[in-house]
Amino acid sequence: MNMLLKTTLTASLLSSMIATTAFAAPAEAPPAFVKRVADGLMTRLKADQAKLQSNPAAINAIVRQNLDPYVDGQAFTRIVLGTYATNQYTTAAQRAQFEKNFRETLINNYGSAFAKYSNQTYTMRPYKDTGSKNPVVTIDFIDKGNKTPVSFQLADSGNQWKVRNINVAGIDLGLQFRNQFAANVKRNGNNVDKAIATFKPDADAAVKK
Listed by start position, the domains of the chain span 28-207
Q: Are 111 and 206 in contact (CB under 8 A)?
A: no
pLDDT in tens, 30-60: 999 999 999 999 999 888 888 777 888 888 8
Residue 101, pLDDT > 70, answer yes
pLDDT band at 91 (very low <50, low <70, confident <90, very high): very high
Percent of the chain with pLDDT over 90: 64
**Predicted pLDDT at 24:** 62
Identify the residue with better confidence: 173 or 119. Answer: 173
**Top-level CATH class of 28-207?**
alpha beta
Rounded to an integer, what distance in angstroms lies between the CA atom of residue 202 and that of residue 108?
Answer: 10
Q: Give residues with Cβ within 8 angstroms of 202, minimum separation 6.
A: 109, 180
pLDDT in tens, 125-184: 999 999 999 999 999 999 888 899 999 999 999 899 999 999 999 999 999 999 999 999
